Amino acid sequence: MDFFGKLGETITETGKDVSQKVTDLTEITKLKMEIRSKEDSVRRQFTEIGKQYYEMHKDDAEPLFEEISLINETLQKIEELRGEVAERKGKKICPSCGAPNDAEASFCNKCGAKCESACAEEACTEEAVEDVAVNLQKDAAETEETDL
């Protein structure tokens, strides 16, 4: 009987150890999830700071960071590509809000602005970059809301 008593005690102790380890593992997992959540929050804040800095300095003659020029160039290229997509679909992009409209439309279906023929590359630079930046910010804000 002494053997079975010791065996019972060993099983009980092992069960307690396993139970404690499961509890510890659960707590560790919860803490790691909280850490990831906080890190994501910090990343979103960094992104927001970057957006605000970009908005403040996008028109500087000589930007402090080369990335501002790269962003401006990329936004301009995005606008050109959107125009190409619209053109291939037989549409044109509203110069005011960036919405696609029928090629024959005189006014934008979305904002009501006058839609003239597609603007020449040199005429589309600043306004197009600003419009694309605003649209990207709206998209990013909507994405952040859905991620929450």
Q: At what angle do helices 125-147 and 2-57 cross, to 10 degrees?
A: 160
Distance CA 124, CA 127 (A): 6
Amino acid 147: pLDDT: 56
Opening angle at CA 59, ends 131 and 76, nearest 5: 40
What is the spatial distance between Cα 3 and Cα 127, in angstroms, rounded to a whole number? 87
The pLDDT of residue 83 is 84
* pLDDT of the residue at 117: 55
Domain ranges of the chain: 1-57, 61-148
User: 127 and 95 in contact (C-beta within 8 Å)?
Assistant: yes
Per-residue pLDDT of the chain (148 residues; tens, 9 = 90+): 588 788 888 888 888 888 888 999 999 999 999 999 999 999 999 999 999 999 999 888 888 888 888 999 999 999 889 888 888 888 888 888 888 888 888 898 889 988 875 443 334 445 555 666 666 666 666 666 655 5
Measured CA to CA, the distance from residue 86 to residue 93 in angstroms comes to: 7
**Alpha carbon 144 to chain centroid, angstroms:** 7
Q: pTM here?
A: 0.49
Q: Reduced to 3 states, what is the DSSP secondary structure of residue 37?
A: helix
Predicted local distance difference test score (pLDDT) of residue 31: 95
What is residue 144's predicted lDDT score, i.e. its pLDDT?
62
